[in-house]
Amino acid sequence: MDLELAGRTALVTGAGRGIGLAVAEALTAEGVQVVGAARTITPELKAATVASVSVDLSTARGATDVVEAALDELGGIDILVNNVGAGDVSDLEVGGFLDVTDEQWRHLFDINLFSAIWTTRRALPSLLDRRGAIVNISTITARTPSVGTVGYSEAKAALTTLGKRLSEEFGPRGVRVNTVSPGIVGTSLWRGPDGFGAKLAAAQGIPHEALLAGLAEHTGIACGRISEPEEVAALVTFLVSGKAASIVGADYVIDGGTLKTA
């Protein structure tokens, strides 16, 4: 299937690893010129993009600068994928509401919500001119905020609502905005020795391997396994393509059947 993406341009944030890297690779495979933004520039990111930018997207200056860099490199932006999120796992408290500091709340909202606000605001003139597309990467925990790190789900819920607002305002002007909400995805966040999965296992007093082995059963994933970054990237790639021209303001869940509500 020709997704009608060859020759388009894209900025992907949080592209150094995991879902963001998979999105950059998938778009590049379809002939898109991709600029990838990440705190750490990996060899994989360099290979998947025409340019990679090291940036702290939890600041307004960083988010604005990366869009400027992408505009300079590409001449314009057709596709914006706001994927950056989570934050530095080493700084996250995995306890309850009373354990979490104001600083963690602010950081999680800066990186998961305001980064998308800042990049979108700066990229919109080009996206409007080119009748482009935006995909925001949220999470199913935006719908089940009692699960996961305090502050993260709340910030992602706001991001999901932002996507709907943007689609209502700019859809009639030719910019399609959609949201993708993954469940547990097999990235370093869960599988890495220093990731959230390892930290959660330690908090529960169980081996990291045991936590990973039991994730599907414990969280009720109907297909019996967690998702992979490439699966999320395939959905994102379709949503920004010409084949999805009538999909506007949607929130697509990709969680292997974790959520049990319609």
Active site residue 152: yes
- SS in 3 state form for the chain? CCCCCCCCEEEEECCCCHHHHHHHHHHHHCCCEEEEEECCCCHHHHHHCCEEEECCCCCHHHHHHHHHHHHHHHCCCCEEEECCCCCCHHHCCCCCHHHCCHHHHHHHHHHHHHHHHHHHHHHHHHHHHHCCEEEEECCHHHCCCCCCCCCHHHHHHHHHHHHHHHHHHHHHHCCEEEEEEECCECCHHHHCCCCHHHHHHHHHCCCHHHHHHHHHHHHCCCCCCCECHHHHHHHHHHHCCHHHCCCCCCEEEECCCCCCCC
Instruction: Identify the active-site residue in 109, 114, 118, 152.
Output: 152
Residues annotated as catalytic (active site), given as ranges = 152
